[in-house]
Amino acid sequence: MNPTINPSILSANFCNIEKDIKILEKNSITSIHIDVMDGNFVPNIAFGIDQIRAIREITEMKFDIHLMINDPDKFIERFVDAGADNITVHAEACPHLYRTIELIKKYGVSVGIALNPATSIESLRYLYKLIDKVLIMTVEPGFGGQNFIEEMKNKLKDLVTIKEKYNYNFSIQVDGGISKDNVEEIVKLGVTDVVIGSSIFKNNEIEKNLKEIYSALKM
Ligand code: DX5
Ligand code: ZN
């Protein structure tokens, strides 16, 4: 089955985001990845609730919200209200992760848990049944355009092994450093959802870049 391609609009043209979104829609994209950064959990600041609400008004695409913020619980309701379809929080940012998962589910959106490169998948061992998505960060979160961390392939293999062994339902998403050159290899490991930022928006050639990615995946 083809993986979901989730363009990260962190690399879109912020002066004309509507144009970029329409190009994505025309090229078979059905979901966009929106990075929220608080300048605290990660050393960068991006996308606030009102910006997400404004984008919700111009597209029907699914919103995959990646919260790189400390203590996300107090904002979940507002992100749902702004148009989230999925909310992913970082395990490292949630001292009471079970409670956070329950809170997100209460609002009827899907829930993902992100792991920084140094965080072991073992931290999710007792949560796998509760969640819809595991996001394996393949760069340190905070910025687009970084290099894929090769060791994360072993982490992905370990996660796929567990998913298959216990027949879990969660999807496996990767985020960071994915391009037409490595996407096929990564999807073949068992990844079902791929976030791609700079490689989709680079040189303002979204259509061409996407076609190259689809062709690498034989989609
Ligand atoms: C990084 C963000 C990513 C970022 C990926 O912290 O979570 O979503 O936009 O960008 P690329 O694909 O350029 O590595
Ligand atoms: Zn992201």
Terminal-residue alpha carbon distance, the chain? 10
Q: Which ligand is nearest to the CA of 86?
A: 2
Q: What are phi and psi of 23, to 5 degrees?
A: -65, -40
Ligand nearest to the CA of 112: 2
Q: What is the CATH number of the domain that holds 14?
A: 3.20.20.70
CA distance 84 to 112: 12
Residues with CB under 6 A from ligand 1: 8, 10-11, 33, 35, 66, 139, 141-146, 175-178, 195-199
Distance 129 CA to ligand 1 centre (A): 27
Contact 125, 99 (CB under 8 A): no
pLDDT tens sequence for the chain (219 residues): 899 999 999 999 999 999 999 999 999 999 999 999 999 999 999 999 999 999 999 999 999 999 999 999 999 999 999 999 999 999 999 999 999 999 999 999 999 999 999 999 999 999 999 999 999 999 999 999 999 999 999 999 999 999 999 999 999 999 999 999 999 999 999 999 999 999 999 999 999 999 999 999 999
Among 219, 173, 179, CA closest to 200: 179
Which residue among 63, 173, 175, 202 is best mutated to probe the pocket of ligand 1, counting the most ligand atoms within 8 A of its Cβ?
175
Quote the domain boundaries for residue 85. Answer: 4-216
- Judge whether 63 is annotated as a binding position: no
Structure tokens at 210: 């996407």
The pLDDT of residue 51 is 98
Please tell me the predicted confidence (pLDDT) of residue 1: 84
Q: Has 197 been labeled as part of a binding site?
A: yes
Residue 115 has φ and ψ, to the nearest 5°, of -125, 125
Hey, how many other C-beta atoms are within 10 angstroms of the C-beta on 100?
23
Asked whether residue 145 is marked as a ligand-binding residue, the answer is: yes
Give the ligand 1 atom nearest the CA of 66: 7
Is residue 82 within 8 A of residue 56, CB to CB? The reply is yes
Q: Is the ipTM of this complex over 0.95?
A: yes
Ligand 1 atom index nearest CA of 44: 6
Say how many C-beta atoms besides its own lie within 10 A of residue 19's C-beta: 12
Count of structural domains within the chain: 1
Q: Are 88 and 114 in contact (CB under 8 A)?
A: yes
Q: Which residues are catalytic?
A: 35, 175
What single-letter amino acid sits at 44? N
Ligand 2 centroid–CA 28 distance in Å is 20
